Amino acid sequence: MDRITLNEIKDKLDFFHKMYDAVRLIDPLHKKVLEYRDSGMISTKVICYDYWGDNRICDNCISIRSYQEDRSLVKMEKFKESVILVTAIPITNVELPAVLELFKNVTDTMFVGDGDYTKSEMLTKYAREINNAIIKDPLTLLFNRRYIDERLPADIVEATLTGSPLSVCFVDLDNFKAINDSYGHEAGDQAIRSVGEVILNYIDGRKTWAARYGGDEFLICLGGMRADKAEEIMLQIQNDVGKIGISTDKENIRLSLTFGIRTMEDTPITAAELIREADKEMYLAKKRKYHYGS
């Protein structure tokens, strides 16, 4: 089943309830539970991720991916001491963005590998590891580019609805190519890893998060922060990175980074525009840095 229409939901909803532990309709962009009525679907005040009880947007949101890719997707999610199999099916022919979510507790019915199948630890461990592999950068343990594409639009919607500022910081490690060329990829990896460790010290994973954008570039999202506060944090990160020394056979390398910030406050801006403008600010900052030799 790749997609389902609104009429099919009306006919099959009772059937779905017989097979699954929980069934619901959600708007993956606004993170709201939808209510089905004869005239169609309406948005409720219920936040979809409240289901998991940790008051945070899901790191690996399958429904936004299902909606964006227009196809059915499945994932395993650890929930307390259980493992929940989540199926997301995009709904067509509706005005609101809509996805059908189906939840099934598979803790005692799905097994992975060898071990004691009377316990759930193995399956919960695999569920956590699989989800992390999808959204985490293995070198830095920051989030990856996929996570940016899924999380940033949701944060923009939330900031727009609540009237809160949202700052996106685009970060570039200075002279990374020269480090790789002169000292080898091992030194380059250590430099990237060290910057990631510094960044992790300044984010909480809820309103603030960070990802490796690609290569020597990082993106930091600071929810609820205006430009002045975002700059204050970025200057602290920049200062901490400047204290790092990477030891090589030739010499001790000092690291530095350049950043650019774009803050959304009163006027909504798309994720692509926020990233592009923060990247542009970073480029201008780097141009000033090397022009003035600072």
Residue positions annotated with a catalytic role = 216
Q: Which residues pair with 109 in a beta bridge?
A: none
Q: Residue 96 gets which letter from DSSP? A: S
Nearest to 131 by CA among 68, 65, 195, 72: 65
Residue pair 110/123 in contact (Cβ under 8 Å)? The answer is: yes
Helix H or strand E segment including 201: none
Q: HSE of 185 in the Cβ direction (CA atoms, 13 Å)?
A: 2
In whole angstroms, give the CA distance from residue 76 to residue 132.
11
Asked if 83 and 110 touch (Cβ cutoff 8 Å), the reply is: yes
Instruction: Show the tokens assigned to 207.
Output: 């309103």
Question: What distance in Å separates the CA atoms of residue 193 and residue 237, rounded to the nearest whole number?
Answer: 14
Q: State the Cα–Cα distance between residues 98 and 39, nearest whole angstrom.
A: 15
Rounded Cα distance between 16 and 13, Å, is 5
- HSE-up (13 A, CA, CB side) for residue 289: 14
Q: Are strands 82-92 and 73-79 parallel, antiparallel or unpaired?
A: antiparallel
E strand map for the chain: 4-5, 22-27, 32-37, 40-47, 73-79, 82-92, 99-105, 166-173, 208-214, 217-223, 245-247, 252-254, 257-264
